Amino acid sequence: MEKSRENYWKTVLGLVRNILIVWFVVSYGCGIIFAGALDSIKLGGYPLGFWFAQQGAIYIFVALIFFYSNRMAKIDEEYDVAE
């Protein structure tokens, strides 16, 4: 019981860490730090760095939350801790 709970928490933290990496890369990375470099690529009329800062990051945030929520539902069941 204790063992599986520890593993459960480890799995959860792993998932959260991975999502936070993507979260960081799309906003702070593509939207700020590397925005200038990405701007040379065009997405329609959008410079890509500008697009990430004002559009793209938001779409990816939405996707991340739903991905998290679905993965967590599966993990909860795997470890039998769902409500």
Partner 1 sequence: MSLQATTYLVVGLTFAIYIGIAIWARAGSTKEFYVAGGGIHPITNGVAIGADWMSAASFISMAGLIGFMGYGGGLFLMGWTGGYVLLAMLLAPYLRKFGKYTVPDFFKTRYYSDGATIVAVICLLAASTTYIIGQMTGVGVAFSRFLGVSNSAGIFIGMGIVFMYAVFGGMKGITYTQVAQYCVLILAYTIPAIFISFQLTGNPIPQLGLGSDFVGSNIPILTKLNTIVTDLGFSQYTTQVPGSKLNMFVYTASLMLGTAGLPHVIIRFFTVPDVKGARQSAGWALIFIAILYTTAPSVAAMARLNLHATVNTAVVSNGDVFAEESSIKYDTRPAWMSRWEVTGLLKFNDKNGDGRIQYYNDKSKDAAFLAKAEAAGWKGNELIVNRDIMVLANPEIAKLPNWVIALVAAGGLAAALSTAAGLLLAISAAVSHDLLKNMFMKDLSEKGELMAGRIAMGSAIVGAGYLGLNPPDFAAGTVAIAFGLAASSIFPALMMGIFSKTMNKQGAMAGMLAGIGITMFYVFAHTGILYIKGTEYYSLFGGKNFFFGIHPNAFGAIGAVINFAVAFIVKGFTEPCPEDISEMVENLRVPKGAGAAAADH
Q: Which of 56, 54, 69 is closest to 19 using CA atoms? A: 69
Structure tokens at 69: 């929520």
Give least dist CB 55 to partner 1, A: 6
Q: Which of 10, 37, 59, 78 binds partner 1 (CB under 8 A)?
A: 59
Positions 24 through 53 that interact with partner 1 (CB under 8 A): 27-28, 31-33, 35-36, 39, 42-47, 49-51, 53
Q: Which of 9, 37, 41, 78 binds partner 1 (CB under 8 A)?
A: 9
CA distances from 66 to 28, 49, 56 (A): 21, 24, 16
